[in-house]
Structure 1
């Protein structure tokens, strides 16, 4: 199986909010979790449907966070602002 890092598009809606839409090649359905940098806290999660997901929420400051995709236990880091 070939895994391709997801394509992530983020938009700064207004101060303190984020909106992420992404596609994940090779994963048609599953779950993506956005974790704190130290991976101790789940900050957000979304269902992957048809290889795509979206997340919307609030964040205090730009931060490099860990994302976990299952099935497969794939991980990547991305800045969220």
Structure 2
């Protein structure tokens, strides 16, 4: 596949997700193309699914004593639900 210069990938460390100092929370996911550029929410409609929240349901993963689950918001943006296990 030819690189058209528009794609990107990245890796996020999990330590910030599991060390939030509270029992649970929601992280909205953004990217920033370069320093001082505006933040952009991650989420994209590349198909004919208008409401991703109910269609694309992902399982949680366990990181230490914390469950992390990606999900789409009602606006089709990507967020992470973080919940500390009891």
Same fold, judged at TM 0.5 (above): no
Name which one, 1 or 2, has greater alpha-carbon Rg.
Answer: 2
Q: Going by fraction, where is helix more abundant, 1 or 2?
A: 2
**Normalising to structure 2: TM-score of the pair?**
0.28
